[in-house]
Chains A and B, each alone.
Chain A
Amino acid sequence: MLILTRKSGESIRIGNNIVISILESSSRYLKIGIDAPKDIAVYRNEIYEKIQAENRASSVDAAQVNHLLAGLQKKKTTAATQKEA
């Protein structure tokens, strides 16, 4: 990993068109500004990793979908019957 030391107000250029600026720093956090082309996606890494994990956990076996949806409809019907009663 390349490690650079920067002060508030300084910046780093990545390639031709990405500039990362240190806007503000304190003992607890850094405020960073990112200038990048719109086709470059920028995310907070811990949130991106959470979405990755959630997508993997959400993938279903199509062969089981019929069973799962039938179970859900049964549950909804039961709930509606209980509400009416």
Chain B
Amino acid sequence: MSTQTQTSTAESMSPEITFGGIPMMGIQKVDMIHGLPGFENLHHFVLAELEGYAPFCAFQSTEEGKISMLVIDAKLLSVWQGIEIPPRELAILGLEDGGQSEQFVILKIDQTTQEFTANIKAPIVFNPATGAANQVILDNADLSVEHSMQHELK
């Protein structure tokens, strides 16, 4: 686990893994087959729900603790309806159809305004059965790397 995740005191029988102090739940290992664009040397991540902050999840490198992101299940976004992952990209992950995959979008936070945007142009597509994942760049020109979350988070 990374340098930014901590366990609770040694006395505890069930150590709690946290993300900036928030308990992480349902931790899944994620292997980015091609690395993550911008961090191509990083292949191993964990994906976990953040207790008390659903539907936000943490996506954190296990190789470089400083590299972590907030993500959200893409299927929760109204804009995601009708978006399909190309069969070629699914095949790389050992999947036959999009229904077998999990899809997450990376969130960006404007530190000044605290407004969230989502990169719906390039979702992280994940095979939950194997842990294999890729950030897939979709061809649809209408999809933005900075989709406003203002009307999505209600």
Contact = CB atoms under 8 A, between A and B. Distances in A.
Interface of A: 38-39, 41, 43, 47-48, 50-66, 68-69, 71-73, 75-76
B37 A66 contact: no
Interface stretch (B7-15, B52-60, B77-85, B95-103): B52-60
User: What are the 7 closest A-B residue pairs judged by CB atoms, nearest first?
Assistant: A62-B20, A52-B38, A55-B38, A65-B20, A62-B4, A58-B108, A52-B37
A39 B20 contact: no
Interface of B: 4-5, 19-22, 33-34, 36-39, 50, 53, 56, 58, 60, 65-70, 88, 91-92, 106-109, 114, 116, 119, 121-122, 134-135, 137, 145-146, 153-154
Given A38-B91, A66-B20, A72-B116, A58 B69 contact: yes
B86 to A, nearest CB: 11
A51 B119 contact: yes
Among B116, B137, B154: residue with most chain A CB under 10 A: B137
A10 to B, nearest CB: 25
B66 A61 contact: yes
